[in-house]
Amino acid sequence: MRVAYDGAEFSGFARNDDVRTVQGDLEATLSKVLRHPVAVACAGRTDRGVHSRGQVVSFDADAGHLDAVALQRAVNRILRPAVVVDELTTTSPEFDARLSCTARTYRYHVLNRPIADPLLHHLTWHVREPLDIEAMRRAAARIVGGHDFSAFSKRNKSRPTESFFRRVRSADWWRDGELVRFEVTANAFTHQMVRSLVGMFVEIGRGRRGIDDLAAALDATGRDAVPSPAPPRGLVFWRAHYEVGSAPAP
């Protein structure tokens, strides 16, 4: 399934019995409609407040008794508007939304104007100061390639030997009127990596930091080398990449 959702209503994607999550809602709904227990896998787990336009989710079901169109309608009828299944198809038993994914794309949205907009508040980060987009673009180009993103990553105490090396395929900023957008594609992302990068780029756009500060942060291992992460509400899981024909099209 290709799934879009408004992350403001959820405590992230991953199942947590104590709070509402996207995975919890999907599994409960699918299990109810299909009348058997369903466990889902996703292309990339999103944090509390982070949205999705192109999350991909896979699960096992009996293809002989599966009506994809009817299932999509039933799921959307129960979960909309917070969660919507854009596409639902059958694929090979070997496909796994996470393990088969070759890259992920995120977008971040900044509202760059003096006055906030309450209608865009839950989808953007409001930054009052004028941003130097060209400086932010130059900085974004510096992260393309393989890097250790330790300084841009939140540690998981249960995984003390976790690697923070990731390979970024593309990263760029552009302005569309008062909206400033960032898009980044990588093989995978560490916890809070995109939001931490956006926080650094916006500081560069404000003129408070320079590209040399970004280079130093990429060489550092501690979180004190970077500013605070950008708010989660401006971040969208935009697309999951797969080999052609193996998953729902973007």
Predicted confidence (pLDDT) at residue 245 exceeds the cutoff of 70: no
The mean pLDDT of 106-130, rounded to a whole number, is: 97
Is 47 catalytic? The answer is yes
**CA distance linking residue 23 with residue 157, whole number of Å:** 23
H/E segment holding residue 77? helix 68-79
Query: What's the average model confidence in pLDDT over 210-224?
Result: 93
* pLDDT band at 244; cut points 50, 70, 90: confident
What pTM does this model have? 0.94
Range of the domain at 168: 103-239
The contacts found for 65-73 with CB under 8 angstroms, 24 or more apart, are 66/34, 66/90, 71/30, 71/33, 71/34, 72/1
Q: Could you tell me if residue 70 is inside a domain? A: yes
Q: How confident is the model at residue 62 (pLDDT cuts 50, 70, 90)?
A: confident
Indicate if the pLDDT at residue 167 is higher than 90: yes
Average pLDDT over residues 140-153: 97
Spatial CA neighbour of 31 closest among 78, 64, 100: 78
Contact 185, 170 (CB under 8 A): yes
Asked whether the predicted pLDDT for residue 246 surpasses 90, the reply is: no
**Token pair recorded at residue 116:** 């906030």
Residue 114: pLDDT over 60: yes
Are 198 and 232 members of one domain? yes
- Final residue belonging to a domain, choices 99, 128, 159: 99
pLDDT greater than 80 at residue 42: yes
Label residue 157 by pLDDT band (50, 70, 90).
low
Distance CA 136, CA 198 (A): 9
Considering only CA atoms, which of 101, 12, 24 is closest in space to residue 51? Answer: 12
State the average pLDDT over residues 106-135: 98
- At residue 155 the predicted structure's pLDDT band, cuts being 50, 70 and 90, is confident
Pick the catalytic residue from 47, 60, 117, 176: 47
Q: Look up the CATH number of the domain holding residue 132.
A: 3.30.70.660
Instruction: Please tell me the total count of domains within the chain.
Output: 2
Say what the pLDDT of residue 243 is: 85
Residues 120 and 179 grouped into a single domain: yes
244 part of a folded domain: no
